[in-house]
Amino acid sequence: MLRSLVGSEMCIRDRYQRRVREIMSAMRSAVGRKTLFFDINETTLNLEPAQRVVDELGGHGAGQSWFDRLVQMSMVCSHTKQYDGFGPLASSAFGAVCQSRGVEVKEEEWARVKAELDVLQPHEDVVPGLDVLAAQGWRLVAFSNSPLASLTAQLQQAQLYNRYDAVLSVDGARAFKPALVCYEYALSECGVCLLYTSPSPRDS
């Protein structure tokens, strides 16, 4: 029994060391520019002006509730494999939040929110941060749940479009982040290979 346990332990150790060598070899052979993917709504572009309008229409705190509901709904859609675009989802989230507060809204009210979404500006640290990363050789990719046409227009009016090497929308994957297929799509579009590495023999 002891001899069997020792032999098994040596086998695991050998597999572990072999796996480490494979990982190190893959890392040394990796070529190409490093790539960073940036979320856009709220992470890059400041959502506060749109949230203030939602607050005006739906009451105090409605703006944050709307964004929270939007994120929640997009995740539900991802899990249930439903996709109808981010615009309709944002509008539905707005209507649901207002209804839960006893506020009746129509298309005109949503149009006010949409108008603010179209002209969002970047957070103060975005432009200098992107410039620093670009100078360091990073490839910068905008990757958003928003439709490509809307995303492109947003970045152009915010004077950010030319700071990205690529602009991608989940429309190409027909799913919302954080569904895995979205990231697989983005990596494929950018020609990036994602190498899963783990030295554990259990993952071999």
- SS3 label, residue 108: helix
Tell me the C-alpha distance between 15 and 202, whole Å: 10
Question: DSSP class of residue 175?
Answer: S
Helix or strand run (H / E) with residue 188: helix 180-189
Q: What is the pLDDT of residue 14?
A: 74
Q: Are 103 and 58 in contact (CB under 8 A)?
A: yes
- Dihedral angle computed from the Cα positions of residues 21, 26, 27 and 33, in that order, rounded to the nearest 10 degrees: 180
Positions in the chain whose pLDDT score sits under 50: 2, 5, 27, 30, 195-204
* pLDDT computed for residue 34 by the predictor: 83
Own/partner pairs for 190-197, CB < 8 Å, 24+ apart? 190/35, 190/139, 190/141, 190/166, 191/32, 192/32, 192/35, 195/26, 195/30, 197/23, 197/26, 197/27
| Alpha-carbon 154 to chain mean position | 16
pLDDT of residue 197: 40
Query: Mind spelling out the 3-state secondary structure of 66-103?
Result: HHHHHHHHHHHHHHHCCCCCHHHHHHHHHHHHHHHCCC
Residue 25, H or E segment? helix 2-29
Euclidean distance between CA atoms 102 and 169, whole angstroms = 34
Q: Using DSSP, how many helices (H) and how many strands (E) does the chain show?
A: 8, 3
Which pLDDT score, from 0 to 100, does residue 98 have?
Answer: 95
Distance (Å, whole) CA 41 – CA 122: 9
pLDDT of residue 5: 47
Q: Exposed (0-12), middle (13-18) or buried (19+): which is 15, by Cβ within 10 Å? A: middle
- CA–CA separation, 63 and 54 (whole Å): 5
